[in-house]
Structure 1
Amino acid sequence: MTQTHEPGTARRRPEGAAELRTVAMPADANPAGDIFGGWVMSQMDIAGGIAAGQYTRGRVVTAAVDAMSFLKPVRIGDVVSVYCSLTSRGRSSLRLHLETWVTRRRTSLEDPIEELVTEAVFTFVAVDAEGRPRPFPG
């Protein structure tokens, strides 16, 4: 059974739908083996873009990212999963809450541990072929 932890609380599960899952690789790390925060943020942007494109049924651009704090490091070999949930929508924009969780590499016979490493709210805008905001269905 997989354990989940968040700083200050135990047994919290990710919120939203899993939109992306990847492995943190050495090319994405500093010499100490910690993954660059910009790489993590780009994975969140990709996951959010996938979800926003599905909601809007078309092209989207990232318009804003609300405060992002890194709670724990991401390390080489961690499985990185990004979960998305819709928080609000307008005529041509929407806001998604994104959570990034990692599954730490297994060591010996221990169960893997999932940890929340960062979260933020991303705002996406639906755009037309010329890059102008467009209303989306729904």
Structure 2
Amino acid sequence: MPQPDTTPATTLPQDKELVLKVIPLPSDTNSNGDIFGGWVMSQVDLAGSVLSARVACGRIATVAVNEFVFKQPVRVGDLLSFYSSVLRVGRTSITVQVEVFAERIRAQGQYLKVTEARLSYVAIDEQGRPRPIRGDD
């Protein structure tokens, strides 16, 4: 089984937008002292929604988590940076890629990719029904 890459990234993504920064707290940990995967997933969903809502020009809903990879554990005190980019825009849906980098508290200025995910959102109207993103319908 291949070992995960623990080499810190020398640079953060230049082709993606920084959409969220957050520091996990002790209350976000599991019994091993690592941050709950579900907590990370919820933050990724928030980060993915930033560009999706912008593209949709309004309300959106998460419809799919197409891929989610935990590469490294997230620890209390890490400064997490969430970078996102739009992969696809359909008639009512938007698919985004989110990459999460940790700056460890004892390794300031060094970044390690800890998570990456691909999520899909759908633009919705006031009644919660899918609506076209573009005015072509």
Q: TM-score band, normalised by the shorter chain?
A: 0.7 to 0.9
Q: Following superposition of structure 1 onto structure 2, how do residues 77-92 of structure 1 map, counting pairs within 5 Å?
A: 77-92=77-92
Quote the offset at 1:137 in angstroms.
Answer: 3.3
Q: TM-score, normalised by structure 2?
A: 0.86
Structure 1 runs not aligned, ≥5 long: 1-5
Q: TM-score, normalised by structure 1?
A: 0.86
CA distance in 1, matches of 2:66, 2:11: 22
Preserved contact between residue 19 and residue 50 of structure 2 (Cα < 8 Å): yes
Quote the offset at 1:72 in angstroms.
Answer: 0.3
Preserved contact between residue 57 and residue 137 of structure 1 (Cα < 8 Å): no
* Residues 32-91 of structure 1 deviation map (CA, whole Å, 9 limit, x = unaligned): 320001100100101111221111110000010112121100000001111110111101
How many residues align? The count is: 130
CA distance in 2, matches of 1:93, 1:101: 26
Quote the offset at 1:112 in angstroms.
Answer: 3.3
Report what 1:13 is aligned to: 12
User: Equivalent residue of 1:91, what SS?
Assistant: coil
Quote the offset at 1:25 in angstroms.
Answer: 0.4
Quote the offset at 1:11 in angstroms.
Answer: 3.4
The ranges of structure 1 where at least 4 consecutive aligned residues each deviate by more than 6 angstroms after the TM superposition are: none
Quote the offset at 1:129 in angstroms.
Answer: 0.6
- Counterpart of 2:27, as a letter, is A
Question: CA 1:47–1:25 in structure 2 vs 1: closer, same or farther (change >3 Å)?
Answer: same
Quote the offset at 1:111 in angstroms.
Answer: 4.2
Identical-residue share of aligned pairs (%) = 42
Structure 2 runs not aligned, ≥5 long: none
Two-structure CA RMSD over aligned residues (Å): 1.9
Q: Following superposition of structure 1 onto structure 2, how do residues 16-27 of structure 1 map, counting pairs within 5 Å?
A: 16-27=16-27
Report what 1:29 is aligned to: 29
User: Equivalent residue of 2:67, what SS?
Assistant: coil
Q: Which is worse superposed, 110-119 or 20-29?
A: 110-119
